[in-house]
Amino acid sequence: MFHSPKLCLALVLLFASALVSAQKLSDQEIEQRVNSLLQQMTLEEKAGQLTQFVGNNPQTMEMIKQGKVGSLLGVLGAEQANAAQRAAVEASRLKIPLILGYDVIHGYRTIFPVPLASAGSFDPQLIEQAERVAAKESTASGVKWVFAPMVDIARDPRWGRIVEGAGEDPYLGSVIAAAKVRGFQGKDIADPESVVACAKHYVAYGAVEGGRDYNTVDISEQLLREIYLPPFHAAVEAGTGTLMSAFQDLNGVPASANHHTLTEILRGEWHFNGFVVSDWSATHELIAHGAAANDSQAAFRGVIAGVDMDMVDGAYLSSIPALVQSGKLPQSVVDEAVRRVLRIKFKAGLFERPYADPKREKTDILTPENREVARKLAFESLVLLQNMNNVLPLNRNQTIAVIGPLANDKSSQLGPWAGNGQAGDAITPLAAFRQKMGDDHVRYAKGVDIPPFESGLAAGVAAPAPPSATGVENAETESRPASIDDALATANKADVVVLFVGELAGMSGEASSRASLDLPGDQMKLIDAVISTRKPVVLVLESGRPLNISWAPERASAIVQAWYLGVEAGNAIAHTLLGDASPSGRLPLSWPRSVGQIPIYYNHKNTGRPSAPDRWHTGYLDLAKDPLFPFGYGLSYTTFSYRNLKADSRVPQDGTLHASAEVENTGKREGTEVVQLYVHDRVAPTSRPVRELKGFQRVTLAAGEHKAVEFTVKVNDLGSYDPNMHWIVPTGTYDVWVAPDSASGLQGTFEVK
Ligand code: NOJ
């Protein structure tokens, strides 16, 4: 008999964990079980494993029982998930479990900052922790597979999906891609609190022409390899179980039928052994691309290229058996695709534990601890762009006017692609200011409403919600009608105005490209009116992209880019603006002065005419060519100085570069600086970007404190592709910067021998 309940519990836990590890199959055992299943499968059942449908309606449930479905998307809640799983595991002939997937782009129910925002935290550890939370909440709800991380590099903010990724830089994007995969998958995807990750959208979706969603991409192999592929490679290296192939055409071959990227690079060069799922109906869309005449040809092209699972359109299910029977499609290609899917199902422990534990739904979702991670990440993501006369932090004894259409809009705090987020969970800035300062010190006016766009497509016709979009409840808690007069009166009664403008959450994300970056609706009229009061104005922008604010540095006292910060948005914004901590977020992209500068990115080439005293150099007649704010830029409530750059003077090609600089907090309060390392290879077989980020560190310093910040980089990582696409590390002189952003810093040189 055990007399101590604690001892008893410990022994039970020990026994349970021994049982779990005993169940864990070795790779060899997994191969044996996969092959034994494969031998028993009919062609229809094989095509079924390669098929994903959406939802669990009665017809789909029947197909699951017939072994015609390998995965479902968008089945949420343990009860629903378990019902679908039961049909597969108990009622289908071979009892192969489903893998249930969902878009968990920045949180499942506890919604974190949109990915573009959290990239600006430059804090991979915290991002990993957030994805751990997302994995825990997802699995509690029966979701074992997330369609994330989205790792598309984007240089064009007209593209609505720029909000889903980590911005313009392949190094930052790679570090974050790996952190997210680690966070989702944990140490083992079989862990009941881990999900299988899906790096998407493979590949170069972010390069769509004109920033128009789904549009054509035609880029060089060098650009593909140096800019768009690295975050996918990082996700593969971090062990992502799956990838999603993209919608768009890539150099004449649609990404979802592209053998070069899906097989030669992904499997051949990177040895990826998970599986690839197509994006939503991307197989069927090969017909519209002009790459196939019908679903049968589309399925053939997809599976031959290396897309293993077909999302929602049923083309694989309807075509693969006949394609194999007619001898057009080798059986071995189909078997290999099935093997990849089954392997991940075994590795994810789905055969041992197909069901979600319904108890966890009550204990693991939207907990105070989860919200705390969201608040921390929101705080670190916010970027202070200007702070004239130290108008920030605000003085708590002042009366503040909280004005603007986004100050109290709950659903826009969450941002687009907000998983299973509920608008009611979000704390708005208005609510947070009231809670922190008391109602007497806070006045509010909405000012204007933001009307939805009437696009060319939607003019006169209500556009249907895209089938893959997830909506959040739109709850406006403050019902005062919007009026600029009201806003003026409110501003006049206050000491300072905090003005919340930007875009509604639905204005970025999928199928939400814009031709202009101007503030939509009458927001400029509201801004003009508020600025005319001559009160200090703190402009807080909420948006999924950089907007056109080239007027703002002259007219607003402070500028804060708050993106969409998630459930804890209001708390993070009020916390920062009231000075509870100093902001530390940085821009993960170059902020254009005008839409005409796009594409604009810091790692551009020098050109043959970079600058000159006369007009015969690269630029515009009517506008500067540099951005309004550079990549990596952001202020805090203190100041930092850099001195004493040191770098190895000579390093071998297979060696390591050491570089360091002293960074000092020269202000009066603690602050966190994001210290960045950039490199430039002066002469190489292919022209090199003027700078490339190769390292960064978040460094917290007390007032007056200084520190030597040291970087160590493998010289091999400073290389580039030669014209034949071989990776080389050219010898010769390189520039190096230790810098607060991509446009300044201390510069030195080193030689690669
Ligand atoms: C389409 C989107 O492009 C993709 O990102 C998403 O994962 C799927 N739909 C599934 O919802």
Nearest CA to ligand 1 atom 4: 279
The CA 52 to ligand 1 mean position distance, Å, reads: 13
Compute the distance from residue 363 Cα to the ligand 1 centre, in Å.
29
User: Which residue, judged by its Cα, is nearest atom 8 of ligand 1?
Assistant: 280
Q: What is the CATH number of the domain that holds 419?
A: 3.40.50.1700
Residue 470 CA: nearest ligand 1 atom is: 11
Site to probe by mutation for ligand 1, drawn from 307, 468, 470 as the one with most ligand atoms within 8 Å of Cβ, is 468
Q: State whether 731 and 651 are in the same domain.
A: yes
104 CA to centre of ligand 1 in angstroms = 10
> Helix 569-577 to helix 368-381 angle, to the nearest 10 degrees?
50
Token pair in block for residue 429 = 């800035």
Residue 181 lies in a domain: no
Question: How much distance in Å is there from the Cα of 471 to the middle of ligand 1?
Answer: 14
Q: Is residue 602 part of a domain?
A: no
Mean pLDDT over 509-529 rounds to: 98
Question: What is the band of 748 on the pLDDT scale with cuts at 50, 70, 90?
Answer: very high
Nearest alpha-carbon partner for 585 in 435, 356, 376: 376
662 and 557 in a common domain = no
* Mean pLDDT calculated for residue range 238-242: 99
- Give 336: exposed, middle or buried? Use CB within 10 Å, 0-12, 13-18, 19+: middle
Whether residue 442 lies inside any domain: the answer is yes
Looking at the structure, tell me whether residues 554 and 690 fall in a common domain.
no
Mean predicted lDDT score pLDDT of the chain: 94
Q: Which residues pair with 443 in a beta bridge?
A: 401
Judge if 578 and 488 occupy the same domain: yes
pLDDT grade, residue 23 (50/70/90)?
low
- 660 and 540 together in one domain: no
Confidence at 466, pLDDT banded by 50, 70, 90:
very low
CB atoms within 10 A of CB 455: 13
Smallest CA separation from ligand 1 atom 7, residue: 147
Cis peptide before 289 (omega within 30 of 0): no
Question: For 253-304, how does the pLDDT look when each residue is reduced to its tens digit (9 = 90+)?
Answer: 999 999 999 999 999 999 999 999 999 999 999 999 999 999 999 999 999 9
Residues in the chain: 753
Residues near 346 by Cβ (< 8 Å), separated by ≥ 6? 25, 30, 33, 34
Closest protein CA for atom 11 of ligand 1: 468
Is 230 within the bounds of a domain? no
Q: Return the best residue to mutate from 311, 420, 470 for the ligand 1 pocket (most ligand atoms within 8 A of CB).
A: 311
How far apart, in whole angstroms, are the C-alpha atoms of residue 318 and residue 306? 18
Ligand 1: centre distance to CA 637 (Å): 39
- The answer to whether residue 20 scores a pLDDT higher than 60 is no
On whether both 448 and 571 belong to a single domain, the answer is: yes
Do 582 and 645 lie in one domain? The reply is no
**Could you tell me the maximum CA-CA distance found in the chain, to the nearest angstrom?**
92
* Mean pLDDT, residues 71-79: 98
Spatial distance between the Cα atoms of 472 and 264, rounded to a whole number of angstroms: 40
**Which of 557, 589, 621 delimits the end of a domain?**
589
Q: Name the pLDDT band for 7 (thresholds 50, 70, 90).
A: very low
Q: What is the pLDDT of residue 10?
A: 45
Query: 248 C-alpha to center of ligand 1: Å?
Result: 13
498 CA to middle of ligand 1, Å?
36
Q: Tell me if 630 is assigned to some domain.
A: no
Q: What is the DSSP letter of 159?
A: S
Tell me what pLDDT residue 454 has: 78
Quick: pLDDT tens for 705-718: 999 999 999 999 99
Q: What is the pLDDT of residue 457?
A: 52
Rounded to an integer, what distance in angstroms lies between the CA atom of residue 500 and that of residue 156? 24
Separation of 128 CA from ligand 1 center, angstroms? 22
Q: How far is it, in rounded angstroms, from Cα 12 to Cα 17?
A: 9
CATH of the domain at 657: 2.60.40.10
Residue ranges making up the domain that contains 675 = 640-752
* pLDDT at res. 19: 47
For residues 413 and 255, give the distance between their C-alpha atoms in angstroms, rounded to a whole number.
33
535 alpha carbon to ligand 1 midpoint, in Å? 45
Q: Does 436 share its domain with 567? A: yes
* Ligand 1 pocket, CB under 6 A: 73, 103, 147, 200, 279-280, 468, 510
The verdict on residue 634 lying in a domain is no
Specify the pLDDT at position 480: 65
Q: Which residue has the higher pLDDT, 1 or 578?
A: 578
% residues pLDDT > 90 (the chain): 92
Whole-number pLDDT of residue 24: 83
For residue 609, pLDDT beyond 70: yes
- pLDDT, tens only, 407-462: 999 999 999 999 999 999 999 999 999 999 999 999 999 999 999 997 655 444 44
Please give the average per-residue pLDDT across 642-667, as a whole number. Answer: 98
Distances from the Cα of 422 to the Cα of 81, 208, 415, angstroms: 20, 31, 11
The count of domains in the chain is 2
pLDDT tens-digit map of 366-423: 999 999 999 999 999 999 999 999 999 999 999 999 999 999 999 999 999 999 999 9
Same domain, residue pair 581 and 459: yes
Q: How confident is the model at residue 659 (pLDDT cuts 50, 70, 90)?
A: very high
Domain end position, chosen among 555, 589, 623: 589
Last residue of a domain, one of 555, 570, 589: 589
Residue 739 CA to ligand 1 center (angstroms) comes to 37
Cα 220 vs. chain centroid, distance in angstroms? Answer: 24
- Together in a domain, 460 and 558: yes
Task: Please tell me the distance from the alpha carbon of residue 627 to that of residue 596, in angstroms, as a whole number.
Answer: 11
For range 488-496, the mean pLDDT: 98
- Is the pTM for the entire model greater than 0.85? yes
Closest atom of ligand 1 to CA, residue 468: 11
Residues 654 and 585 placed together within one structural domain of the fold: no
Q: Which residues are catalytic?
A: 279
The percentage of the chain sitting over the pLDDT mark of 70, rounded to a whole number, equals: 93
Query: Does residue 123 belong to any structural domain of this protein?
Result: no
Beta-strand (E) ranges in 253-339?
253-254, 275-278, 310-311
Q: H or E segment at 698?
A: strand 692-701
Predicted pLDDT at 613: 79
Which is higher by pLDDT, 494 or 476? 494
Residue 556 lies in a domain: yes
Sheet holding 537-542, edge to edge: 383-387, 558-561, 537-542, 496-502, 400-403, 442-445
Between 161-165, 305-309, 475-479, the lowest mean confidence (pLDDT) is in 475-479
Residues 570, 653, single domain; the answer is no
